[in-house]
Amino acid sequence: MSDRERSFWAWGWADAFPDESARQALAMQVGALLGRSFSPRPLPSLESVRLAAPRVLPPEALAPFSSAEAEDRILHTYGKSYRDVVRAYRGDFSVAPDWVCYPRSEEDIERLLAHCAAEGVAVIPFGGGTSVVGGVEAAVGDGPRGVVSLDLRRLDRVLEVEPVSRSARIQAGATGPVLEEQLAPHGLTLRHFPQSFEFSTLGGWIATRAGGHFATLYTHIDDLVSSVRMITPAGVWASRRLPASGAGPSPDRLALGSEGILGVITEAWVRLQARPRYRASASVTFAHFKDGVRACRMLAQSGLYPSNCRLLDKTDALLGGVFVDGEAVLLLAFESADHPLGPSMDRALALTAEAGGVCPEGPVLREDRGDGAGAQATYKKSFFRAPYLQSALVSLGVLADTFETACTWDRFEELDGAVHDAVLSAMQRALGGGVLARRFTHVYPDGPAPYYTFLAPAREGHELEAWAAIKDAASRAILASGGTITHHHAVGRVHRPYWQSERPEPFAAALRAAKRAVDPAGIMNPGALFEPDER
């Protein structure tokens, strides 16, 4: 555990929040984009937050690893979505949990669950607290007598590294950097880099089916997990560590995406990789976005499996500080620990050229064992910096959020058009205008994962209503055009009403029944996935 402090309202470390001059610069940049002027507003202070008294308190037996202190409750009230940051910025922590539990062991968790089941108190597993869908928010309905936030930070160890199969057994509370640091001496990496990497945890990735950073092949945590251990109120759900199995429906695949409603994930065996040694990268520009789309489709269907195949439209590139001489740029990269990538890159560039792409600077091929240098590292840095900027934008009075989906290639153009129409008109209606940017984060043989960023001038005091109207318009457009409500941000409480129309109804009935079987008291994260009273 680090002594460094997390911001109580904004993304990330308190000391890494953009300073006054950085906020001024950001205000200039976004002002130019939106044709308005913005200026930094005062930042909130922890001292001014008022919390209601807890309705329930930790029993004596759990007190040694629990806290009902205000700061603990405040730091466990929200995830980090736009609406979370806005509410926290306002000092509104009315949905704070009653207390926070920091178990030291699975036994502590079992004791906590037994207590909560007996007392009718809800339990919300909490990893890095980076949910953007209300996944860790204590909006649990009127049933429970209180809410405990179960923070897994003390369970952050790599317990075993097994180098022959390149696997490790890791505790669920380990964040990205903490687990990578423990794997590095073995020359191995989990190579799972969601944008929340610095704070989010293995358990959170599994519970929310995190997507990771890479465009193709092994990037989803779903595919990196070889077994899951989960404590349910009905006992331990522990699968066998296996490279593959055809024995019935996969127990891991039911734990993946379960968002804390079935139990608390405590550890997993995961598949590691050797650190990449060979790298190849290139930037390809396109006169038209649709040509870039075609190039991505050809690459996704080529069997070349680029590690990055990130298509940005002009606006999205601009938000990332990249000027594009055209309507789109494709950030293309290959990585391998085993073999040089010249042939793959050559073929990939031939395909992008066929689609009208231009690569004026040619590809860059490198051989090294570090992560430290070059365009890739620069990009990574700005990638991980983006969430800090979103919080800073809130403090400038800018409404800024992202959403993502996945759809098949044949449906993308219609979906993209519908999303643009819906979001631009919703921003116009609510806020008099705004900007929408798009990129592909992942590409599959049968479709892309489009990712959208929208920015608009917020109206103070009405941020949440405006956001809700835009989010609703975007979500409806996505569902009507054949997309999924989320590619890698989970369902939580925010996507719940939309997920209701996406999921097969008998499946929902089956999942509710599964929950009742392992959580008969209904204490596990009520309100995530299902309505709190939907049983």
Q: Which residues are annotated as a binding site?
A: 125-131, 259-265
Using the rule CB under 8 A, is 302 a contact of a second copy? yes
CB of 288 to a second copy, least distance (A): 17
Q: Residue 141 or 343: which CB sits closer to a second copy? A: 343
> Judged by CB under 8 A, does residue 131 bind a second copy?
no
Indicate the DSSP class of residue 407.
-
Catalogue the E-assigned strands of 106-263. 121-126, 146-151, 158-162, 167-171, 188-189, 225-232, 235-238
* Binding segment toward a second copy, per CB under 8 A, in 3-11, 297-305, 452-460, 464-472: 297-305
- Can you tell me the distance from the alpha carbon of 194 to that of 490, in angstroms, rounded to the nearest whole number? 13
Which residues does residue 241 pair with via DSSP β-bridges, in sequence order? Answer: none
Scanning 9-17, 367-375, 391-399, 504-512 for contacts with a second copy by CB under 8 A, the matching segment is 504-512
Place of tokens 């339990």: 123
314: which residues sit within 8 A by CB, 6+ positions away?
324, 326, 327, 328
The reply on whether position 407 binds a second copy by CB under 8 A is: yes
Q: State the minimum distance, in angstroms, from the CB of residue 132 to a second copy.
A: 12
Contact 498, 479 (CB under 8 A): yes
Contact between 347 and a second copy per CB under 8 A: yes
Closest distance of CB 472 from a second copy, Å: 17
- Residue 24 binds a second copy (CB under 8 A): no
Per CB under 8 A, the list member of 125, 204, 387, 483 interacting with a second copy is 483
451 in active site? yes
Does residue 102 contact residue 96 with C-beta atoms inside 8 Å?
A: no
Residue from 177, 187, 343, 497 in contact with a second copy (CB under 8 A): 343
Helix (H, G, I), strand (E, B) or coil at 325: coil
β partners of residue 402: 453
Question: What φ, ψ does residue 98 adopt, rounded to 5°?
Answer: -75, -40
Choose, by CB under 8 A, the member of 9, 11, 237, 289 that binds a second copy. 237
Q: What is the spatial distance between Cα 456 and Cα 307, in angstroms, rounded to a whole number?
A: 32
In the list 100, 406, 430, 524, the residue contacting a second copy (rule: CB under 8 A) is 406
Question: How many beta carbons lie within 10 A of that of residue 532, not counting itself?
Answer: 18
Among 16, 139, 254, 464, indicate the residue that binds a second copy (CB under 8 A).
Answer: 254
Q: Of 102, 388, 451, 452, which is the active-site residue?
A: 451
For residue 49 the two structure tokens come to: 């937050």
Q: Does 509 bind a second copy (CB under 8 A)?
A: yes
Q: Site for a second copy (CB under 8 A): which residue of 76, 169, 487, 493?
A: 487
Which tokens belong to 342? 């010249």
Select from 13, 57, 301, 385 the one that contacts a second copy (CB under 8 A): 301
Q: Does 61 bind a second copy (CB under 8 A)?
A: no
Interface pick for a second copy out of 279, 297, 438, 471 (rule CB under 8 A): 297
Indicate the residue among 72 and 252 with the shorter CB distance to a second copy. Answer: 252
Residues 255-284 that bind a second copy (CB under 8 A): 255-259, 262-263, 271, 273-274
Size of the site for a second copy (CB under 8 A): 96
Q: What is the DSSP string of 457-484?
A: E--TT-HHHHHHHHHHHHHHHHHHTT--
- Least distance from C-beta 151 to a second copy, angstroms? 23
Q: Which of residues 307-336 bind a second copy (CB under 8 A)?
A: 336
Local structure of residue 527 (DSSP, 8 states) = T
The count of C-alpha atoms lying within 13 angstroms of the C-alpha of 22, restricted to the half-sphere facing its C-beta, is 12
Annotated binding site for FAD: 125-131, 259-265
Which element (helix H / strand E) includes 494?
none
Q: Does 78 bind a second copy (CB under 8 A)?
A: no
Is residue 447 involved in binding a second copy (CB under 8 A)? yes
How many helices (H) and strands (E) in the chain?
Answer: 16, 18
Return the HEC string of 38-94: CCCCCCCCHHHCCCCCCCCCCCHHHHHHEECCHHHHHHCCCCCCHHHHHHHHCCCCC
Binding of a second copy at residue 52 (CB under 8 A)?
A: no
Q: Cβ of residue 401: shortest distance to a second copy, in angstroms?
A: 17
CB nearer a second copy, residue 179 or residue 394: 179
Taking the least distance from each CB to a second copy, the nearer of 254 and 469 is 254
Q: Contacts with a second copy in 161-220 (CB under 8 A)?
A: 162, 164-167, 208-211, 220
Q: Which residues pair with 121 in a beta bridge?
A: 146
Residue 266: enclosing H or E segment and its boundaries?
A: strand 264-271
Q: Does residue 349 interact with a second copy by CB under 8 A?
A: no
> Pairing relation of β-strands 225-232 and 278-286?
unpaired
Q: In the numeric block, which tokens belong to residue 211? A: 């997507």
Check binding of 70 to a second copy (CB under 8 A): no
Catalytic positions: 451
